[in-house]
Amino acid sequence: MRRVLSKEGTVIHDRVDYSDKELNLLKTILAKGMESVAQVVSDMIGQKINMSVPEVSLMSYDELARICTCDIDEPSIGVQVKMSGNIEGYVALFFPPASAYCVIDLLLGNERGTSSHLTDMGGSALCEIGNLAGAFFLNYLADATSLRAMPSPPVLNGSAVVIQELQSFFGGSDQSGCNKAFVAQTVLSYSAESVDTLFFILPTHESLATILGALKKSGKESDGGT
Amino acid sequence: MPLALIVDDAAFIRLRTRKLLEENGYEVEEAKDGEEAIQKYKEVSPDVVLLDITMPVMDGITALKGIKSIDPQAKVVMCTAVGQQSLVLEAIKAGANDYLLKPLDPEKVLASVKKLVGK
């Protein structure tokens, strides 16, 4: 990340042009954090979960919204967890409705096909996946960097509302002047079912700088991760 | 019959844990946040409390301190997905008797509860 300084030396603007080395480092740490989440979700559901290779990119909110609709007509169901502390940002999961109902049936021990709409208990089960995702990502990050951050209680919403909240948060708090979010994304697939979940981690640009700083301080930058 | 108080904002987790404990001979009361947990503790004096950390209204660490101020002998098991070492130490320092990481392993939950209530 390049920083532009004022004459007095105060950082006034973070331009989001990461070096290849920094980008690789961030990609590695976020991908490993995502792997730890995939493992714990797999344990919870009792099904093997496959995770696509995580992609890290700068993404406009329009693009994010397009992806989160999962290219289907029916809005997907989103679970968001806010990270606060040394690391700020969001962890978000998006379930196409069919995937959501399948995951709910797995978690509640129902026969496949039982759920056809979102009940309070089903929503609570999806939220628990969001809770685990946020907590285990931050657990991993704490182990790797000694940075401490806490997840908020998970919130369930339609994908459009989640995207609006993300945009509002990043628009309001990010001092970088960048109108794009740094997004790590992957797809979690359940081996026994043809259902997918989109899993996103969206740290603020300031938090990315904090992570890079912590990795450099701990000497973990040299091997590209932990 | 020993009484357990389950404190978690997730109805799904309360349902699962209630079922596990009731099937193993415990009575169960529930609370959905830390504030409700303290109130419930005063009302029913449970033998053991299973306490989540990340909750709205009042988090689990604050609730733990509140319960311990009412009853320093309270038996409290933290049940949370947050496993950061600094937080575990904070909970133990505040008087937690045990710390279980989610997703909860039924055998570990029962072992911890049995150890604390002596059943």
Mutate to test the interface with A, among B9, B59, B61, B82 (most CBs of A within 10 A): B82
Q: What predicted TM-score, i.e. pTM, was given to this entire model?
A: 0.85
The label of the residue with tokens 């994304």 reads A185
Selecting from A44, A148, A153 the residue whose C-beta is nearest the C-beta of B54 gives: A153
Q: Is A155 on the interface with B (CB under 8 A)?
A: no
Count, residues in chain B? 119
Q: Which DSSP category does A18 fall into?
A: -
**Strand ranges inside B1-119, DSSP E:** 3-7, 27-31, 48-51, 76-80, 98-101
Q: B9 and A153: CB-CB below 8 Å? A: yes
Which residues in chain A have Cβ-Cβ distances shorter than 8 Å to B17?
Answer: none
Joined together, the tokens standing for residue A112 give 């496949």
Strand bridging mode A77-85 / A149-151: antiparallel
Selecting from B56, B83, B102 the residue whose C-beta is nearest the C-beta of A153 gives: B56
The pLDDT value recorded for residue B99 is 95
> What dihedral angle (degrees, nearest 10) is formed by the CA atoms of A172, A175, A181, A182?
-140
The pLDDT value recorded for residue B59 is 95
Residue A220: phi and psi, rounded to 5, are -90, 0
Q: Which residue of A has its CA nearest to B87?
A: A148
Strand bridging mode B48-51 / B3-7: parallel
The pLDDT value recorded for residue A2 is 41
The pLDDT value recorded for residue A191 is 62
Question: Higher pLDDT residue, A194 or A151?
Answer: A151
Q: Which residues of B84-116 are buried (b: 16+ CB within 10 A; e: fewer)?
A: beebbeebeebbbbbbbbbbbeeeebbebbeeb
Complex-level ipTM: 0.89
Mean pLDDT of chain B: 95
- Mark out chain B residues that contact chain A at CB-CB < 8 A: 9-13, 15, 54-56, 80-87, 102-103
* Number of neighbouring beta carbons within 10 Å of residue B62: 17
Is residue A219 left, alpha or beta, with left meaning phi > 0 and alpha meaning psi from -120 to 50?
left
Q: What is the pLDDT of residues A38-55, one digit of tens each?
A: 888 888 877 788 888 888
Residue A137: phi and psi, rounded to 5, are -65, -45
Q: A121 and B11: CB-CB below 8 Å? A: yes
Which residues in chain B have Cβ-Cβ distances shorter than 8 Å to A40?
Answer: 81, 103
Q: Which DSSP category does A115 fall into?
A: -
Question: Chain A: nearest CA to B104, how far in angstroms?
Answer: 8
The label of the residue with tokens 């844990």 reads B17
Residue A78: name the closest of A91, A63, A66, A62 by CA.
A91
Joined together, the tokens standing for residue A125 give 């089960």
**Does B52 score more than 70 pLDDT?**
yes
The label of the residue with tokens 């042009």 reads A17
Q: What is the pLDDT of residues B65-105, one digit of tens each?
A: 999 999 999 999 999 999 888 899 999 999 999 999 999 99
Q: Domains in chain B: how many in total?
A: 1
**Does A99 score more than 70 pLDDT?**
yes
DSSP helix/strand/coil, A30:
helix
Domains in chain A: boundaries: 2-218
Residue A29: name the closest of A19, A21, A41, A17 by CA.
A21
Mutate to test the interface with B, among A131, A138, A152 (most CBs of B within 10 A): A131
pLDDT level of residue A226 (50, 70, 90 thresholds): very low
The pLDDT value recorded for residue A192 is 59
* Multiple choice CATH, A2-218, 3.40.1550.10, 3.40.50.20, 1.10.10.10, 3.40.50.300: 3.40.1550.10
Which residues in chain B have Cβ-Cβ distances shorter than 8 Å to A125?
Answer: 12
The pLDDT value recorded for residue B17 is 96
The Cα-based distances of B39 to B14, B71, B111 in angstroms read 17, 13, 27
Q: B54 and A152: CB-CB below 8 Å? A: yes
Mutate to test the interface with B, among A128, A143, A146, A147 (most CBs of B within 10 A): A128
The Cα–Cα gap between A143 and A71 comes to 36
The pLDDT value recorded for residue B46 is 98
**Does B11 score more than 90 pLDDT?**
yes
Q: B82 and A125: CB-CB below 8 Å? A: no
The Cα–Cα gap between B98 and B77 comes to 5
Q: Find the CATH number of the domain harbouring B50.
A: 3.40.50.2300
Q: What is the mean pLDDT of residues B37-49?
A: 98
The pLDDT value recorded for residue A4 is 36
Q: Name the residue range of residue B16's domain.
A: 3-117
Q: Give the CB-side neighbour count of residue A206, counting CA atoms within 13 A.
A: 16
Name every residue whose Cβ is closer than 8 Å to that of residue A161 and which is 6 or more positions away in sequence. A78
Name every residue whose Cβ is closer than 8 Å to that of residue A97 and which is 6 or more positions away in sequence. A74, A75, A76, A77
